[in-house]
Amino acid sequence: MSVPYFNPYAPITIHTRNLPHWEQPGALVFLTWRLADSLPPALLKSWQIERIAWIAQHPVPWDAASELAYRRRFPARLEHWLDAGHGSCLLRNPDCSTLVEATLRHFDGQHYTLDSFAIMPNHVHLLVRLIEGHDLSDIVKSWKNFSAHLINRQQHNAGSLWQEGYWDRLVRDASYLFRCREYIRRNPVKANLAPSAFRLHISETTY
């Protein structure tokens, strides 16, 4: 496979259902998704209204400055709230986080190549490289559906486990890859988690 960074001159696919999702075969992507109860509804609603208004004033495709502004104003704030530990934090339970990790690893090397991940008490951060012919949105949907089925059965629960959608960014270069890996590595420390409260894998692969 070629160098796994976003190529601005190669074709990309953009989906804009809830967030702008950029896909490019063979490129690494940094993903975050969360449990359905991970944020207080009133806080989330206010954040969503502000984000919708901002996106309407800054239509995609974004330049580097707009992307950075979006990142600081929306995903960064969201991740801070997630680290505060709202909701049931079901993934603090090692039995549940083990099922999520097993789900992520199931098609590793077939549909995608896992790079690094952190399974936090109420959200997941992941670096992954798609294998050509596979769609990111379909893969994330399968991860969430399958892990929710396993966890709900194990915990004797019903209903939605994961919040709809996910946040993602294509990895532009080696420097950005390093920053993503370091963010994943430091996230459990920043959230003051005990070793049993998270699952962590950091790749040492060089490209």
Residue 55 lies in a domain: yes
Q: How many domains does the chain have?
A: 1
Which has more confidence, 115 or 158?
A: 115
Neighbours of 184 (CB within 10 A): 23
The per-residue pLDDT for range 69-101, each reduced to its tens digit, is 988 888 788 888 888 888 999 999 999 999 999
The tokens for 3 are 């160098």
CA nearest neighbour of 198 among 112, 101, 102, 127: 101
- Cut 0.85: pTM above it: no
Residue 34, SS3 per DSSP: strand
Range with lowest mean pLDDT among 7-21, 35-49, 184-198: 7-21
- 3: phi > 0 → left, psi -120 to 50 → alpha, else beta; which? beta
**Residue 175 — φ and ψ, nearest 5°?**
-65, -40
C-alpha–C-alpha distance, residues 178 and 197, integer Å: 24
Residue 147 lies in a domain: yes
61 prior amide bond cis, ω within 30: yes
CATH number at residue 141: 3.30.70.1290
Residue 16 scores a pLDDT above 60: no
The H or E element containing residue 170 is strand 167-170
Residue 78 lies in a domain: yes
Residue 113 scores a pLDDT above 90: yes
The per-residue pLDDT for range 137-172, each reduced to its tens digit, is 899 999 999 999 999 999 998 888 999 889 888 888
Residue 3 lies in a domain: no
**Residue 54 sits in which domain range?**
13-201
Residue 72 lies in a domain: yes
